[in-house]
Chain A
Amino acid sequence: MIIRARVTGAFLAAVLSTTAFNGTFAAEDTIKVGILHSLSGTMAISETTLKDAMLMLIDEQNKKGGLLGKKLEAVVVDPASDWPLFAEKARELVSVDKVSAVFGCWTSVSRKSVLPVFEELNSILFYPVQYEGEESQRNVFYTGAAPNQQAIPAVDYLMENEEVERWVLAGTDYVYPRTTNKILEAYLVSKGVKPEDIMINYTPFGHSDWQTIVSDIKKFGSAGKKTAVVSTINGDANVPFYKELGNQGIKAEDIPVVAFSVGEEELAGLDTGPLVGHLAAWNYFQSVDNPANAEFIKTWKAYTKNDKRVTNDPMEAHYIGFNMWLKAVEKAGTTDTDAVLDAMIGVSVPNLSGGYSTMMPNHHITKPVLIGEIQSDGQFETVWETPGLVVGDEWSDYLPDSKDLISDWRAPMSCGNFNVATGKCGGKGS
């Protein structure tokens, strides 16, 4: 462990020195923005991209003249995929570096680990990843999708367009898949799906031997009813899963797989030829055709100096979150936390899928939901989208514990878990 700390320490020093270099104009007054994403360890694969995206957004904003007449300054820390370290680094960002807002976290455990810090020190966190819901915090803005902005529309799509009657819910064994599958199971049962037509399967993190499970899916799918797989399989386990699907000859025309954690980044490590037609549900795809997105992709490729770099949904979430924060700070005229928290609600900024996203009183945002099919070039093609924007629903209506809860952070309610049945603030959760 000593060595580990030393290595991360050295790495941190390197990172800090580069940020210090960026901040040569630090003699003037700057507004500091914290970036809390793992740059080493297992989650680096996903989170490093978000760090780069944030640096790019800050860079672009400085070119436009900064914020409130001051330059923005990024403070990057590396929590090294270590959940308790997330809390330490968050504390360091807020109390030592005095950042005005933090953009960060990927996994739900890391978010849960930093929540008490943001509450205690009264600072702001923007969380950009799709998550299981069942949470609404005063100091956190959730710019990723809640289950009703991703999972439920995806299931609806399969039910209506592919006439799926039998469901495999496959996930990695941790909180996001477990909660999402619980919501989905309740939803499917409410839609008249029989319990024997639902198969739920969990695998450990980084599972790489999918032979048994894929053949089980094949067997489950040969009961004469149209079958689909809803995958909440996380991170690295997806590549061997898709490879096994391809090798065992499961085609999307027969048993489609819809995934909630597979984006352009994950597909970049795969030969997508055999996967054409498998689906993903997101709020943004790189292939979305509009000028704002084209501009964003161009800037991103130029910034990373890599023509092959792809964009993905959590990047868009940061884009939205960052622009919302800029607007709220301008509206409040200060970076003071309480003023910004008040100003954030109702702020509306353009998203990259061709519309506007608005921050709702429950600290979740409105987004369109897109269903895309994997193409042979590693991109998605949108085959369906919600007619309008969907409001993020933090407390699921399909779980008995949370169906009476709502969240509204405007005065006078100012409550993240108001129980409409009892009329009191403070139900399950937080």
Chain B
Amino acid sequence: MYRIFQTVLFALILLTAIPTSGLRAEEGLRELVNAFGEAKLSDMDEHIAALAKTGDPKVVPILEALGEGNLYARKADGQVFLTKEGGATLTLTDPVTGESAGEAQKAALSKVKVNNGVRRAVRTALGSLTLLSPDREARLRAAQSVLQSPNADALGAVESALAAEKDAEVRALLEQARATTLLMSDRPAAEKKEAVRLLREKGGREALPILSSALGSADETLKPEIEAALASIEQTQALWAAGQNVWYGLSLGSVLLLAAIGLAITFGVMGIINMAHGEMVMLGAYTTFLVQEVLRNSYPGLFDWSLAIALPLAFLVTGAVGLAMERGVIRFLYGRPLETLLATWGISLILQQSVRTIFGPTNQEVGNPSWMSGAFELGGLTITWNRLWIILFALAVFAALLFLLKKTPMGLQMRAVTQNRRMASSMGIRTPWIDALTFALGSGIAGMAGVALSQIDNVSPNLGQGYIIDSFMVVVFGGVGNLWGTLVGAFSLGILNKFLEPYAGAVLGKILVLVLIILFIQKRPRGLFALKGRAVEA
């Protein structure tokens, strides 16, 4: 019911705005749009305001196109058209009639230039234009944009929209927007007081700039009210900030865990100092890149599944490389840690340079699937989707690995071989194969970590180098040979780092963490959770 009412109201407002003759209005509109063609960037604000003032619904797609940079002027006659993004030829749409106007070479058109100022003006204009749109999403966006770039002129539009609005979510936003714009207007102090109260209750950090700028122009009766509101918001923000630090710490910890968990197998369980561990992570990330490349070119619809497809592939690819490394090099070097270190370091350089030769030294573009982009608000916390998924993924990998080691025959054999090789061998376990498989497993898991890390870091040949030191740090700190130690070590280092960072800065924070670890290792050379018993001596 209210939707009909809304549409009617919308139409009514438009009718009053449109001059008597529709044809004349069209001509006027065309003139205004064509003015974009030769306007200077500094004059664009006025043109946008003039266009928005017509209130014509046709203005909305024009302004949207302008904001997205899809408005072009034809060089020959100065006519401005809407276009779709494309290659050298663009399809033109008439801005006023909305009809197709053929195609044109990009060279024959000149783009209507936009900058941040223009985009801001477009956002403001669109905000008040679409507040009454019948589409709920459009109204939501409009309310948000009014809130983001408040201006006192929009108050009337916001209030009439609020009167017609029934949707609770949009209403809440509109109320905030009303309070914000009201504070900037010259309404009586009583109404402003009400607005301050509302912002104090509802407004998070976004309310701070509005209130503090209102503080400057407020009269004496309003000042204490605003100051109290500011203090109260800042207090709650400070509490949330502590929570935010824990969240950031968990998120950094999950990255450390992912990077280190493969090493917890190869170094922790098998005792191989594997300097090529980081390169396994890198190969996993490049596998993701290749999968996305294929999907982008052949099956664009499947793009959101790219990570799910890349995971098993990355495991297989890096697992195979790991297997080849173990069979080809490392098995000849068991019991000679120094040579192992040198050999794996060499392998890491070879892998890096081969990737550089094949894919080139520059970063490769790995896109985020839509479910990994953006953020949502949880109370005062901003939680980004990609970090959330990475935490969950890290925990899942950890759980799966724990299950594999503790509950399966293969895990049993692995543990047997690392605890007492000769006894295991006497019991009929083929120790060389178990060694190879364990190493392949560790490498494969590093590859899977690479898939996740490709979402937050560069995919370049240097990707692995950034993680190798952190990985060793986590494994040594947590206690060599103990998976739980790696988990606890990763998360505690992550949180420690994030609590130090705001005070000490990123550079000093990292140094402090390293110093603390050195002190800790002095005190407990075997890490947080030291293995006890005969396994240690073996």
Contact = CB atoms under 8 A, between A and B. Distances in A.
Contacts of B385: 247
Contacts of A49: 362
Given A204-B507, A269-B363, A256 B116 contact: yes
A206 B353 contact: no
B203 to A, nearest CB: 11
B390 to A, nearest CB: 11
Interface stretch (B28-36, B95-103, B394-402, B459-467): B459-467
B505 A202 contact: yes
A207 B119 CA distance: 31
A254 interface: yes
Given A45-B462, A211-B251, A240-B457, A216 B502 contact: yes
Interface of A: 2-4, 7, 11, 39-40, 42, 44-45, 48-49, 161-162, 173, 201-204, 206-209, 211-213, 215-216, 218-219, 222-225, 236, 239-240, 243-244, 246-249, 252-254, 256, 265-266, 268-271, 274, 276-277, 373, 375-376, 381, 383
A356 to B, nearest CB: 25
A249 B363 contact: no
Contacts of A373: 115-116
Interface size bracket, B side: 35 or more
B123 interface: yes
Q: Most A CB atoms within 10 A — which of B85, B345, B465, B506? A: B506
B213 A224 contact: yes
Contacts of A240: 456-458
Contacts of B363: 45, 236, 239, 266, 268-270
A211 B460 contact: no
Contacts of A4: 345-346, 349
Contacts of A207: 506
A271 B346 contact: no
A269 B116 CA distance: 23
Contacts of B386: 243, 247
A269 B252 contact: no
Interface in B368-406: 368, 373-375, 382, 384-387
Given A45-B363, A161-B117, A271-B365, 4 more contacts: A161-B115, A208-B466, A211-B498, A224-B210
Nearest to B215: A224
Interface of B: 41, 69, 85, 111, 113, 115-117, 119-120, 123, 148-149, 205-206, 208-213, 244-245, 248, 251-252, 255, 342, 345-346, 349-350, 352-353, 356, 360-365, 367-368, 373-375, 382, 384-387, 456-462, 465-466, 498, 501-502, 505-507, 510
B300 to A, nearest CB: 14
Contact of B205 (A7, A218, A247, A254): A218
Contacts of A202: 505-507
B512 to A, nearest CB: 13
A239 B507 contact: no
Given A204-B507, A268-B362, A45 B466 contact: no
What 8 A-B pairs come out closest when comparing CB atoms? A269-B363, A224-B209, A3-B346, A224-B213, A224-B212, A44-B361, A247-B384, A383-B115
